[in-house]
Structure 1
Amino acid sequence: MIEAINGLFTGLGLSSSAGLNAYLPLLIVAVVARFTDWITLSKPWSALTNGWIIALLAVLLGPVVTAATGGVGNPIVSTIEDISSALVALLSILIPTLVALLLLLLFIVLSSWYWRRRRARTI
């Protein structure tokens, strides 16, 4: 159940970061799945971890925004969109893990506080 919820939130985070740069979250997922164990892609999505697919996605990092802006201010707009899309995609992968760690830390702190308080009452 938790794995399904984690997958849902990761998918929502990745899709919301897409915008005009739909290739960028896909590239980040492909690279993270290939070089780390944070993501394990099942078939047919495991094909994304192929080096040729990653290279193709990297080539798509060209100026997709040019069509939308007519080339005016393209370098600035494209850079800002790429950076924000990459950050949101990375955060959507990392945040579920960080939330789990923070909840574990909160549980440890609260249980420690509870047991200290309980011991103080018995003395």
Structure 2
Amino acid sequence: MLAALTGAGLSAAAGLNAYIPFLMVALMARYTEIINLPAQFAWIESPYAIGGAGVLLLSEVVLDKIAIVDHINDAFGTFIRPATGGLIFAATQAAEDIEQGSSFMADNPWIGVVAGVVTAGVVHTGKAATRPLVNGATFGLGAPVVSTAEDTASVGLSLVAIFLPVLVIFALLLLMVGMFAVWRAARRRRRSRDTAMASAGYYS
């Protein structure tokens, strides 16, 4: 059960930023005993994988904070984030199961892949749907603020998933509430702005 919560939390974090949970798992697997990846996922902790993910993370952090460019970034993320979520879910599930002396998840990694893809995909969809509203309501000024909040949430969710998996369900609920609140506030602000512009005759 805890392994599933860890995988779910990391996959949700990947839905916000694919490279943050990947790097956390990779670094902890390489330099600590907290995560012990099985042989089929050992490449995740290789210097090449860590270095490549680090470069991609830097690119993501910059590009995702620029209005309009963030939409293009989200389009690429439609494939990358769910795929990363599936990979991380399967890897951490298999690692946890091996530690418990069971090979079920190691023999059936597709279960973790499917669960991770779905979880990351749902979160990514919410992120991608909210961002255009935020940009439209704030003329792009809200992009760096919301992006920073998403990165922070990805870091926090990853840490909770790894160290306090029993709190993952609470963290996921909090994430959903937060994303809905941002979407609702942006939608309300955009409606108010459109109404004001219409009243001033800009749409006549």
For the aligned pair, the TM-score class normalised by the smaller chain equals 0.5 to 0.7
- The yes-or-no answer on 1:29 pairing with 2:31 is no
Cα RMSD, aligned residues only:
2.4
Paired AA for residue 95 in structure 1: L
Decide which of 52, 55, 61 is 2:51's aligned counterpart. 55
- Distance in 2, matches of 1:59 and 1:78, equals 18
Tell me how far 1:97 sits from its aligned partner.
Answer: 8.6
Which is helix-richer, 1 or 2?
A: 2
Superposed structure 1 runs of 4+ greater than 3 Å apart: 68-71
- If you compute each CA radius of gyration, which structure gives the higher value, 1 or 2? 1
Number of aligned residues: 94
- Distance in 2, matches of 1:35 and 1:11, equals 20
Q: When the two structures are superposed, what TM-score results if normalisation uses the length of structure 1?
A: 0.65
- The yes-or-no answer on 1:77 pairing with 2:123 is no
Unpaired stretches in structure 1, ≥5 consecutive residues = 99-123
- Distance in 2, matches of 1:8 and 1:95, equals 12
The structure-2 alpha-carbon separation of the partners of 1:55 and 1:95, relative to structure 1 and needing over 3 Å to count, comes to: same
* Alignment-derived partner of residue 158 in structure 2: 89
Q: When the two structures are superposed, what TM-score results if normalisation uses the length of structure 2?
A: 0.41
- Distance in 2, matches of 1:96 and 1:77, equals 25
* Deviations 1:68-93 (CA, angstroms, capped at 9, x unpaired): 45883443222211111011001100
Paired AA for residue 89 in structure 1: S
Unpaired stretches in structure 2, ≥5 consecutive residues = 65-69, 75-130, 168-204
